[in-house]
Chain A
Amino acid sequence: MNGIHDMGGMHGMGPIRHEKSEPVFHETWEGRIYAINRAIGAWRKWNIDAGRHAIEQLPPADYLRMSYYEKWLARNIGLLVKHGLVTQEEIDTGRPAPGSQKAKPPLTVANVASTAAQRPSYARPDADAKARFKVGDRVRARKINPTGHTRLPRYARGREGVIDRHHGIFIFPDTNAHFQGEQPQHLYSVCFRARELWGESASPRDSVYLDLWDSYLEHT
């Protein structure tokens, strides 16, 4: 979707505020919502792409106004309700519905460390997917404007680049976010010259590399 989250190349967002000796969490609740995010993710009712899309779907004004973890809080409440782990009424009252069964949490003290050390993979090396491109090919990012989730930023659409690296076959977020299957595709690092993206004001030496799936690209 052409949302506010797709920020690459925008102007007017103000100076970068670098904080010295920044704490991991500025307030206690930020750590709690971060941990809650992990704990409810362990129910496997949704996936990482659906989680990202839930943040993209926040109203643009809220997206800009909210702090990072406020967005996580809003996203998590939305996902919990949408996927039936809690009801809106329970959120509103703060109490479990009368007579509801108590569940057993999948993330426990005993398995936090082992779960964290796992390397869940988004690669699907054995999937049946054809690579239409190889390293060195000149490609163009397609001019597409999907209304759902996509990882092809607007600033690269219609621009030409060169395949720099072939990463392998990976889950396709555009379908996975909508529970339409992983539909794995080949993933490439594509090098775009800064001048191709931004015009003559950019340095002739600079480039931007994006990781793009096969179906985002076409031959030039």
Chain B
Amino acid sequence: MTDIRSLEQTLLDNPVVSLCARWHKGESLPYSIYVIYNIFLIYTSEIMEGCPMANDSESMDRRSFLKRAATGAAAGAFPTDMHDQDHDHQVVPSDPALRTKALESLLVEKGLVDSAALDAVVDMFENKIGPRNGARVVARAWVDPAYKKRLLADAGPAIAELGYSGAQGEHMVVVENTPKAHNLVVCTLCSCYPWPVLGLPPVWYKSAPYRSRAVIDPRGVLREFGTELADDVEIRVWDSTAEIRYLVLPERPAGTEKMTEEELAALVTRDSMIGAAKVAAPRGGKA
């Protein structure tokens, strides 16, 4: 490990490492740093190729090497700055982070995008649009039979009654789970998902394992989510191949008869509205 340590020491003295860390922290730095960073990557690749540790079991890949190097550099250069937040993500700026930052700067400078508008979009999806919206739709359908009827007949207007509409919710269909039929939603071709009611999809929904298996092995997929269905329950998988977006209306669990609409909404999970899970009975309830 001595070779790695001495390389680290070399990197500690490298101002580019420090600059990368500052950039990642959100400081606005000139484009030239991005260019230098790329040269720096080539430089470190060359070090790794010539490094005697590179091929043995204790060697690190380039990313962990860089991470370690940058962490060390940042700790030396910015002792208070880097440790005052609950940073559990990597300290070294990943390549897409830098490239996104470079792209945003270019687009802003060209007047193609407005940085503050980007902030507003991020804020909207981090704080306003999410599965709580869908949960309110479900809870309303559970307590109001007339609403449920409207929702199942023509979901778009019924969902809009609660104030939810927008991109990727233009053409909504709600499918109802019953003791004899269970619905599961997937997009095998990309990542189609009803944003206005569920927000942006979780990583697993967009990933190859779910997209490949949901249609061929829905029972196996559901089992991985802890949802065991009896053989006599019919599974309907909805592959979102067009602009129709599907929301599952899960079964209302037993023991919730006295709960308010608001309390019911709190029980409804995102996964239950994709159909990957059922809504669990409340604690203390008779499930």
Contact = CB atoms under 8 A, between A and B. Distances in A.
B125 A119 contact: no
Contact of A29 (B96, B107, B207, B208): B96
A93 to B, nearest CB: 7
Interface in B199-235: 199-200, 202-204, 206-216, 218-219, 221, 224-225, 231-235
Contacts of A7: 188-189, 208, 211-212
B215 A8 contact: yes
A2 B156 CA distance: 33
B230 to A, nearest CB: 10
A60 B93 CA distance: 25
B100 A29 contact: yes
Given A34-B121, A121-B170, A153-B188, A208 B96 contact: no
Interface in A181-214: 187, 189, 191, 194, 197-198, 202-203, 205-213
Nearest to B175: A209
A202 B160 CA distance: 38
Contacts of B117: 35, 39, 105, 107-109, 112
Contacts of A101: 111
Interface in A26-42: 26-29, 31-36, 38-40
A209 B183 CA distance: 10
B275 interface: no
Contacts of A117: 165-166
A170 to B, nearest CB: 6
Nearest to B185: A209
Contacts of B234: 205-207
Contact of A18 (B106, B111, B169, B204): B204
B114 A108 contact: yes
B241 A210 contact: yes
Contacts of B146: none
A91 B109 CA distance: 12
A32 B94 CA distance: 14
Given A33-B100, A206-B234, A211-B244, 14 more contacts: A8-B215, A13-B212, A15-B224, A33-B103, A34-B200, A35-B121, A102-B110, A153-B189, A167-B242, A198-B216, A202-B216, A205-B231, A206-B218, A211-B240
Interface of B: 26, 31, 34-35, 89, 94, 96-97, 99-107, 109-114, 116-122, 124-126, 130, 156, 160, 165-167, 169-171, 173, 186, 188-191, 199-200, 202-204, 206-216, 218-219, 221, 224-225, 231-244
Interface of A: 5-11, 13-19, 22, 24-29, 31-36, 38-40, 43, 48, 52, 55, 64, 67-70, 73, 76-77, 80, 85-86, 90-91, 93-96, 100-105, 107-109, 112-113, 116-123, 151-153, 155, 165, 167, 170-171, 173, 187, 189, 191, 194, 197-198, 202-203, 205-213
